[in-house]
Amino acid sequence: MTSLELAKYIDHTLLAPEATGRDVAKLCLEANEMKVAAVCISPSLLPLPNGLLSGDIALVCVTGFPSGAHAGATKSYEAATAVKNGATEIDMVVNLGFVYDSMWLELGDEISAVRRGIGNSVKLKAIIESAALTDEQIVMTCRVAVANGVDFVKTSTGFHKSGGATVHAVRLMRATVGNSIGVKASGGIRTRESALEMIKAGASRLGTSATRTILVG
């Protein structure tokens, strides 16, 4: 795989809580240069100045980040506001308490509320924190997410103490959702080798802040 081909898998990410507008401008300039699939930022950093990001690069915004413990209505409002401010994709952190208590209806209702809030034209990813879940919980969470309208399931925020993406989780998520739903591997992907391993396991998108290292490595 060439670096240009690999770049099309990457969401070039900046989610540090201290990130500034200058940092976002730098992120977008790097994204334009490297021709990545998307940039991923926090909602308070929107909207972007006109012309800062190339039109063929998606603008991803997180919601319910990083804990996922926000009220569903709050997540829906935050996501809808982000879309009004230019986001074309939403990465939503699911409520892990619902997962741990097997509250699948409540989990589905929350995801569905975010889907309704952003409309069907915006891509929705569910961040499930796979490293914090058993295989059975990963499978059920992915199934509920797909049933309630997500376009992608995503491994991790990169902020959870349990860790980030693993090849095993990506492979399991891909097997669960099939080929019509995207799988985004995120959290701890810092080398070209690990990026290619995630793609081989079934990832269709990679979230990373180490984009340049990956592409030149």
How far apart are the C-alpha atoms of 126 and 185, rounded to whole Å? 12
161 is catalytic: no
How far apart are the C-alpha atoms of 184 and 19, rounded to whole Å? 23
Catalytic one of 75, 123, 125, 154:
154
- Largest separation between any pair of C-alpha atoms in the chain: 45
Catalytic one of 11, 75, 91, 125:
91
Strand partners, 206: 10, 185
154 is catalytic: yes
**Rg value, the chain, Cα:** 16
How many CB atoms are located within 10 Å of the residue 168 CB? 13
Instruction: Report yes or no: 175 and 153 within 8 Å, Cβ to Cβ.
Output: no
Catalytic one of 75, 123, 125, 184:
184
**Catalytic positions:** 91, 154, 184
